[in-house]
Amino acid sequence: MNNLLIWLFLACVFFLIPPEMKFNKLTSEEERVIVYKGTEMPFKGEYYKHKAVGIYKCKRCNDPLYLSSDKFDANCGWPSFDDEITGAVKKLIDADGRRTEIVCANCDAHLGHVFIGEGFTDKNTRHCVNSISMIFESYEVSDTAIFAAGCFWGVEYYFKKLSGVKEVTSGYIGGKTDNPSYQEVCTGETGHAEAVKVVYDSEKVSYEKLVKYFFEIHNFEQLNRQGPDIGTQYRSAIFVENEFQKYQAQRIIEILKSKGYKVVTTIEDANVFWKAENYHQDYYFKKGSTPYCHSYKKIF
């Protein structure tokens, strides 16, 4: 009985704790900025000139806020970003009635302010953020990307033509069996998708560019099919290796939806990529013809 009472007491204490008590413990200076909406000294913040690849997260609750690919140098004294991770930031009228404050959408931690129309980047937006409001999660620069967009013959054909791409391999991913054969995948019962693994030079082409190109070479509004090829093995999917790739892919899908497209593409965690049989590799180049269900259409 005593143990039961203790358990009930602890459960009540846990659920009655105000949400803010469950956030990360802050120093007095972090609290001054994050809770009481202060500003850190310019040119002194940890992330002002920071250039590593990764994700900037809220120091108070660890929710993702910004991608390093959106960071730029505005020479203003604080880290600057021209976009946020979708849904990560809320915009509020500042206490001064003139500026727009930005806060973490999850915990309302004060981040800084957003300014429009300064012309620093094509997006014409600057999120001016206090370094002290963020933590950084780094990622090694990836040189691979995995896409499924119907028959891998056509997908391989177009990615091999893209500048900056070093190698493209046709294969299978996303299924439940090891080392599947083409005949097994074609049944639709293994769960695999026909896909390509793209090895690229990140100095010449970005992951964002690869994702945009992926959408430009197939019909991403067709569910579990591409042209005459029907089945889950022909689904439109992006297989991501980390959060950095996931958030970039999500943003591009949101852009497409804002343009009125009905996107059925899924974002799936990458598991083992199984190389397809040799006769599938470089199929159209060996055959000397062009794809029958893929074509390029500029969207971005």
Q: 3-state class of 263 per DSSP?
A: coil
> 76, 128, 186, 293: which is the annotated catalytic residue?
128
* Chain segment 223-235, per-residue pLDDT in tens: 999 999 999 999 9
Q: Which helix (H) or strand (E) holds 3?
A: helix 2-16
pLDDT band at residue 14 under the 50/70/90 scheme: very low
What mean pLDDT do residues 107-120 have? 97
Record: fold of 144-287:
Peptide Methionine Sulfoxide Reductase; Chain A (3.30.1060)
Fold annotation for 20-138: 2.170.150
Report whether pLDDT(143) > 90.
Answer: yes
User: What are the domain boundaries of the chain?
Assistant: 20-138, 144-287
User: Active-site residue 12, yes or no?
Assistant: no
Look at residue 96 in the predicted model and tell me its pLDDT: 87
Select from 151, 147, 150 the least CA-distant residue to 270: 147
Q: Active site includes 128?
A: yes
Asked whether residue 12 carries a pLDDT value surpassing 80, the answer given is no
Phi, psi for residue 267 in degrees, rounded to 5: -110, 120
pTM of the model: 0.86
Q: Nearest to residue 158, comparing CAs of 226, 231, 109?
A: 226
Query: For the chain, how big is the Rg over CA atoms in Å?
Result: 23
Average pLDDT of the chain, as a whole number: 93
Q: So what's the pLDDT on residue 9?
A: 46
Catalytic residue among 12, 151, 186, 293: 151
Task: Indicate the DSSP class of residue 27.
Answer: -
Distance (Å, rounded) from C-alpha 171 to C-alpha 274? 5
In Å, how far are 40, 130, 132, 192, 243 from 57, measured between CA atoms? 17, 12, 11, 33, 12
Q: Where are the alpha helices (DSSP H) in 36-194?
A: 152-159, 182-186
Asked if pLDDT for residue 11 goes beyond 80, the answer is no
Phi then psi for residue 268, to 5 deg, are -125, 145
pLDDT at position 7 over 60: no
Express each pLDDT in 246-272 by its tens digit: 999 999 999 999 999 999 999 999 999
62 has pLDDT over 80: yes
At residue 72 the predicted structure's pLDDT band, cuts being 50, 70 and 90, is very high
